[in-house]
């Protein structure tokens, strides 16, 4: 069977963390629609009680004619991350793209509201997660001679007026700098590392935050992020790396 040349990610394998709902699910489905084999990773259940599982995302992809595998993984747990990557290699033999989307959001709480356990949980998910996942996939990407790592950033990571607060904004600022430094580190191996800032989204998680209602109509559905994520997935160090890009500017200031 010949590959469909119209599918931009034909022959590629992508891992999407936090793929049980919202943005992660939308990116996973977009990758699959473009021909990628997608590994959908998520914790077994949401600690906040939100609906959706990795299995459901994978089932939706297969029902649409795509190929996907669901894996349970807490990205802050090294053993689970290593197992996820090894299972991906066992199944597909390669890893071309990693989307570090999994994370937690704590908004509207002051420093004195946030106990050390909550602080550590956010840092573990939002910063340790991308570190562990990147560290686990990089040997395979280096062996292949190319790859693309996409880290989800945020306007709250570089603008304190966005309302991210001391915890969420701090973790996202750290992800931004982690990405810039990692891009320089792996450039020689032809691996791209970029930060995608999706902007305001209409997701289940966002809907649970009271103050998001004030700009709800200006927000976009998670599916709107798909094309920009596909563009970044196709990059390597020779084409586009070390960039913080805004989804809203895709096709205008970048990705043209």
User: Which positions are catalytic?
Assistant: 154, 168, 172
Q: Are 192 and 149 in contact, with CB atoms under 8 Å apart?
A: yes
Phi, psi of 18 (to 5 degrees): 65, 40
**Residue in this structure with the two tokens 């966005």, named with its chain if needed:** 162
E-assigned strands of the chain? 13-17, 37-42, 67-72, 97-100, 147-152, 191-197, 244-246
Distances (CA, A) of 93 to 12, 32, 221, 240, 247: 10, 17, 33, 25, 31
Closest to 228 in 3D by CA, of 53, 99, 123: 99
Q: Supply φ then ψ for residue 163, to 5 degrees.
A: 90, 20
8 Å CB contact between 204 and 68:
no
């Amino acid at each position: 069977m010949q590959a469909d040349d119209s599918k931009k990610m034909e022959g590629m394998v992508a891992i999407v963390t936090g793929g049980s709902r919202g943005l992660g699910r939308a990116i996973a489905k977009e990758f699959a629609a473009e021909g990628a084999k997608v590994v959908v990773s998520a914790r077994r259940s949401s600690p906040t009680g939100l609906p959706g599982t990795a299995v459901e995302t994978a089932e939706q992809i297969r029902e649409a004619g795509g190929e996907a595998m669901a894996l349970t993984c807490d990205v802050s747990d090294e053993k689970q991350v290593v197992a996820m990557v090894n299972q991906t290699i066992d199944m597909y033999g390669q890893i071309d793209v990693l989307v570090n989307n999994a994370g937690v959001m704590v908004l509207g709480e002051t420093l004195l509201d946030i106990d050390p356990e909550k602080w550590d949980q956010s840092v573990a998910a939002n910063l340790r997660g991308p570190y562990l996942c990147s560290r686990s996939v990089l040997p395979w990407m280096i062996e292949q001679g190319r790859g693309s790592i996409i880290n989800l950033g945020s306007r709250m990571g570089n603008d304190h007026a966005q309302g991210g607060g001391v915890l969420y904004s701090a973790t996202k600022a750290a992800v931004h700098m982690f990405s810039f430094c990692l891009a320089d580190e792996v450039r020689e191996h032809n691996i791209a590392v970029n930060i995608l800032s999706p902007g305001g989204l209409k997701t289940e998680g966002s809907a649970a935050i009271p103050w998001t209602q004030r700009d709800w109509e200006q927000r976009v559905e998670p599916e709107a992020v798909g094309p920009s994520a596909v563009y970044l997935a196709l990059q390597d160090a020779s084409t586009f790396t070390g960039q913080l890009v805004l989804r809203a500017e895709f096709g205008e200031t970048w990705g043209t």
